[in-house]
Amino acid sequence: MKLKIVQAGDPVLRTQSRTLSKDEITSPSIQLLIEWMRDTMREAPGVGLAAPQIGKSLQLAVIEDRAGYISDVSEDELAKRQRTAIPFHVIINPKLRVLDKSTAQFFEGCLSLEGYQAIVDRALNVRVECLNERAEEVTINARGWYARILQHEIDHLNGTLYIDRMQSRTLTTTDNMLKFWQSKSIDDVLDELEGDSK
């Protein structure tokens, strides 16, 4: 079942989500919600979907970066982004820790800000302690693009959107990002846009 993805401006996207108990996690209603969120994320398509994005203020997100999403991306670009396929999984009540000071800047989009992207600086190396869909404790060590996805989804659970972290002069429609900026390095994009502001 495909759920409606709420868009920026809906108060649920700006609310601190509540944690789930182990009994709630294993309940039929949450198990069904996870299935529906997975289907909605895949149909969108996206690499992550947090419960607030479908109107539920719960500390729950689904993540999957399918091989088909990156099959047309060059080896050089995949290496630059440290991006590989990530199997479907669920994070519940996550606690995120940044492991070092290394960061990377890339264009980032969101299913709740449909049609827009902006450059966001994110930590490259994170650890997430959470529960999975069976209410089991899990520790995830993630680098690169996977770390970015986790940070983005966990931000949603805390009422934060990528536009709160973006370099505001880089906000663009997805069409214009593909037209004007896709073939340029992030440094070149930033140089060009910062040059316009001087």
Chain-centre distance of CA 154, in angstroms?
8
Residue corresponding to tokens 């002069």: 169
Residue 1 confidence (pLDDT): 82
The architecture (CATH level 2) of 11-196 comes to Alpha-Beta Complex (3.90)
Please list the ranges in the chain whose pLDDT falls under 70. 195-198
* Residue 153 appears among annotated catalytic residues: yes
pLDDT at res. 48? 98
Q: Residue type for 14, please?
A: R
Asked whether 134 and 183 are in contact (CB, 8 A), the reply is no
pLDDT at 197: 54
In a 13 Å sphere around the CA of 130, the CA atoms on its Cβ side amount to 28
The Cα–Cα gap between 181 and 193 comes to 11
In the chain, DSSP assigns E strands to 48-50, 60-65, 86-98, 103-109, 116-123, 125-131, 137-143, 172-173
Residues 24, 153, 192, 194: which is the catalytic one?
153
Supply the pLDDT for residue 37. 98
pLDDT value for 196: 54
Sorted by where each begins, the domain ranges of the chain are 11-196
Convert 5-32 to b/e letters by CB count within 10 Å (16 or more is b): bbeeeeebbeeebeebeeeebeeeebee
* pLDDT of amino acid 94: 98
Say if pTM beats, i.e. exceeds, 0.85: yes
